[in-house]
Structure 1
């Protein structure tokens, strides 16, 4: 980083953005003004570096900054056509960029550029928004800060808001910042340290006032029966409801989910005022853009049965959709974008917790984090005053802002498996690992399940963050562990779409050498294990009502009779017929069931490394190191089969091109004529 002003800005941004008490994920922006050398004239040029659209302060780098010329930015004030043509000013910002300009300027750029201060912060702290949404926010602001912080009545972000704050700064030289009604805070300083100190002073003073002066029960008295369930009980109930809920909220388009049962959510739902406050919705634009104007709130006590919850949630979901459509129709004009969908983004279950939804796991998780911010805001506002968010018309104006629509249009095309959630067994090595990696690369969220939980976690970490993959321990022979694996999947990502039965082991023995214990172990892991996984997964898939895919990693040995392989080949034949049976049974639920028949996959295989390779090499009279080449030479294509080849087939079977295929076994064996399907 060559410029010291940029270095200081990035450091300040990261410090402020890494603390959720200062601002929400991707919320707010920071800026710094300074001079640099104009590469054309060789002379100095005054510039502003500001966090660009869509970035996150906590992880901001220089690439996330928009770079603008201050002379041209200030000149825009002379041609500003008024609030009715605000959107034109965002387009005009492109003509103020310096060189290539870096990231796209955000709607808040004018706020930073027009304020006469070298460093400006705009943040969304819970304490600041609590003041900003308090019914008597102006009076509280004067009481807490005197003339050091000035109240700004609600105005939609844009050029006029920048002009307003610039005028406040001019008229109040003693002020260090503002409380933006319904929105957040803005602070400034002549140095980076001064701006940061001003931001923290506002945040911390507001928090101290709320803590010292707030009433004891801002959400009202506890409601009998709405107390949090014990942890194990509430998480079991959440897992039982998750697939059903995901089906409901995916009426318009399939969504990924996130679940949290943190204490503030459970407290909010256990108190008398939560229905009133939830109905008021969120206020900060960053909040309701991700959470929608209101959540769906189940109005049943914590001990309501799963059946009662499903029935009532169905009714409430229908009402929510009708109410959302009515909200859209109340405010939409001929110029408004089409309604984006009427399903809720946040569902609150008393005694259990909060489910949040989005186009991917990160979006779903952030929606939940933002609603947690909103709960904290409501607590603060209700503690010292009355929560009074911006009105519905203003919310609609931002939710269906043409600029927001343009931002959505710039989003990259989703990957083929976007919004799909996969559970892969035996995924810490070999075929299972390759499949997990491929599905994640194609956009799926993946649960890496393996008998070795530590290895599963390591593989998941290599695939990506917990927004992409998690690793869990699961013994597929244990019914309780299998159910726990499915529960972990639906709690992590909201549901389940793809199941890959890959866990296995192999014993290479002749008939006379194979013991009953060998036979039982082989069948217990693969035949019984696949059955248990498919049964638990199918229950979730059926409740979800979104279809799905179950894939069995069978083997050419399911149809090819080789020597000294009685237990393994017989159990593979069992798995192969499970595919046909389940395809016939689950088709009415739009669940496809298919199998893959590989040839021996030597490289990267946990089974072959565990002794099976040495046993098979001995059967065929070759060195173990040459076993892969031996297998290849007996095929029609003379090619060795690798884990990624099986992963290719798995992706194809659950991808869009095979939407009408079920009950199929796909050979991935480079051509073993004796294993041709008949």
Structure 2
């Protein structure tokens, strides 16, 4: 049975974490102190439950809590060696844990344990950090909160900060919390409800004061030439720029992207203080650990053409990388971790919006959310005073903190396709769905492109959140439709790495029964459709400059002549030769083009379920339910081919194991001698 104290803590944490104005994703922590039965002695033992390292308040569960014995945690004060060695205390937390399981204690554990309050909240609200980063934040704290909230000068999170806050609470019995300079807030209460109420009061009081007393133009006068473009024009420009920006942000390591053009971002980009504030960077450690110390600003008017922006990118990127390397060199010590990469995580394009990048979609999206938090912080600080984040040296101490490096090393190894973005046509059923499912399972982000939008979105939802997969409508025979679907893909994930031409249909008819309409329909979807998808997707791959894969799902019928199948087989032969032609043409860009030739896939196939199975069964004189067995018995291995077999081949082709392979057709037919490649 869960302890009632834990239930209250989870409820409070989820409530506070549900609103990003209270705290950012995975930021902040909450705790509760209480008693439970020690299974060894059978007696009550004083414990503290606190959100563990890496967890998120909004989705916190009991498994995400670290559970510590209070007597042992507080005894650590007696062995504390001083601020110069405070990092050693983090390892000592392991010796205060109660029971087994649970999360690893975070760096903020001392803050919660040492403060003499039953319930403690540490949060990163925009309004609170605005006060914390104002040049006169200490005076504003006194004015706004009238002694109920006390200022704590900036100190890196750790054991000493816990001691500082504990002393302030002891010295100020009327206080309900603190403003942590440059960082956030901490509040406390005798009950869980009181702690939450105090947290919310601090946040709301700060926000109300900013709204009432702040100047109306915190970012300076709006620069008309940098104002937001109309929505359709803005997103079209964003889609055109996204592959170039992703390539730029992936010089050190391939990244996934996220785009936002929400009002707060567009207002910031149009303000006359944009460059000055962007140069100062973010302040809250949770912010800059995900956004880097500063963004890359594409300082061009909104009316600048896509070509003008693209032309400016190389020099801007080079300057950004040099600036980041200089920042590293200024502060690195002999034992500092190696520089992790000099590419920007945030790119700001006036008139268009913000692009954020990360190792996966969630990381990219959260980085963007954090920079929006930072924009709101700058707005509040500039409205009341002058924005003054923590120093560059302090930022470096945290970004390249040995404890942060250790946290990164504890992360599980990425999956083989992590960071790759796939666009699969005809993916709402059959082979396409199996391919999408396999790619997601290997770490890729996937765009489910299908003629049926509702089914595409349904499959995407089955595969996970929009951080994993999205569904888009795509009539591959219509170039405008293809371009629209690809634009949605790059706005969702930043670009593309893997294109799978899978969309298809078939009509099994003899030469004399095949009409011109039958011929045109199949060629429009498969031959023309593959051409249109490859042509427009290849432009994105070339613009990114980081290579990529195009895979055609052709057929054994591209080389095997069977009866009553002229239109389908002819278009499959067309697709097969497209593989060779594009492999020869796109190789100079590092783009590999390969094909897969399956035998008839009966089980789970949309084509076979749509009447093709009945037609082929009639051709071969077997019952439709026995068609799969019929295909299997005529193969060398005697095995039926299913969608997952084709998906496995797609996965294999786009791994690094096939990095030197292009122009290849892989049979997935269990061995059809007549379809052997010659």
Question: Scaled by the length of structure 1, what TM-score is found?
Answer: 1.00
> In 1, distance between residues paired with 2:539 and 2:8?
54
**1:558 has 2:568 as partner:** no
Q: Which residue of 2 aligns with 1:39?
A: 39
The SS at the match of 1:144 is: helix
How many correspondences in the alignment?
A: 678
Cα RMSD (Å): 0.6
Any idea what the Cα deviations from partners look like across 1:501-548, whole Å, max 9, x if unmatched?
Answer: 000110100001111111111100000000000000000000101100
> In 2, distance between residues paired with 1:101 and 1:168?
33
- TM-fit CA distance, 1:656: 1.4
Q: Which residue of 2 aligns with 1:422?
A: 422
> In 2, distance between residues paired with 1:375 and 1:312?
25
Q: Which residue of 2 aligns with 1:250?
A: 250
The SS at the match of 1:471 is: strand
> In 1, distance between residues paired with 2:86 and 2:320?
32
- TM-fit CA distance, 1:82: 0.7
> In 2, distance between residues paired with 1:605 and 1:566?
20
- TM-fit CA distance, 1:489: 1.0
Q: Which residue of 2 aligns with 1:268?
A: 268
Q: Which residue of 1 aligns with 2:639?
A: 639
Q: Which residue of 2 aligns with 1:93?
A: 93
Q: Which residue of 1 aligns with 2:382?
A: 382
**1:143 has 2:166 as partner:** no
Contact 1:287 1:370 in 2 (8 A): yes
- TM-fit CA distance, 1:314: 1.4
The SS at the match of 1:93 is: helix
> In 2, distance between residues paired with 1:439 and 1:631?
27
- TM-fit CA distance, 1:177: 0.2
> In 2, distance between residues paired with 1:608 and 1:397?
61
The SS at the match of 2:100 is: strand
Please list, as runs of the form range in 1=range in 2, the aligned pairs for 1:18-33 lying within 5 A after superposition.
18-33=18-33
Q: Which residue of 2 aligns with 1:290?
A: 290
Q: Which residue of 1 aligns with 2:312?
A: 312
Structure 1 residue ranges without an equivalent (≥5): none
Any idea what the Cα deviations from partners look like across 1:287-341, whole Å, max 9, x if unmatched?
Answer: 0000000000011000101111012121111000000000000000001100000
Moved over 2 A (4+): none
- TM-fit CA distance, 1:15: 0.1
Q: Which residue of 1 aligns with 2:502?
A: 502
The SS at the match of 1:666 is: strand
- TM-fit CA distance, 1:224: 2.2
Deviates more, 1:612-621 or 1:93-102: 93-102
- TM-fit CA distance, 1:242: 0.6
Q: Which residue of 1 aligns with 2:84?
A: 84
Please list, as runs of the form range in 1=range in 2, the aligned pairs for 1:658-677 lying within 5 A after superposition.
658-677=658-677
- TM-fit CA distance, 1:101: 5.5
Q: Which residue of 2 aligns with 1:655?
A: 655
> In 2, distance between residues paired with 1:86 and 1:530?
60
Q: Which residue of 2 aligns with 1:589?
A: 589
Q: Which residue of 2 aligns with 1:525?
A: 525
Any idea what the Cα deviations from partners look like across 1:334-367, whole Å, max 9, x if unmatched?
Answer: 0110000000000000000000001100000000
Any idea what the Cα deviations from partners look like across 1:248-299, whole Å, max 9, x if unmatched?
Answer: 1111111111000001000100110111000000000000000000000011
> In 2, distance between residues paired with 1:121 and 1:16?
9
Q: Which residue of 1 aligns with 2:447?
A: 447
Contact 1:67 1:101 in 2 (8 A): no
Any idea what the Cα deviations from partners look like across 1:453-509, whole Å, max 9, x if unmatched?
Answer: 000000000011100000111100010110111111111111100000000110100
Q: Which residue of 2 aligns with 1:161?
A: 161
Q: Which residue of 2 aligns with 1:371?
A: 371
Contact 1:68 1:101 in 2 (8 A): no
Structure 2 residue ranges without an equivalent (≥5): none
> In 2, distance between residues paired with 1:632 and 1:463?
30
The SS at the match of 1:343 is: coil
Q: Which residue of 1 aligns with 2:109?
A: 109
> In 2, distance between residues paired with 1:86 and 1:482?
57
> In 1, distance between residues paired with 2:226 and 2:249?
24
Q: Which residue of 2 aligns with 1:356?
A: 356
> In 2, distance between residues paired with 1:604 and 1:640?
12
Q: Which residue of 1 aligns with 2:332?
A: 332
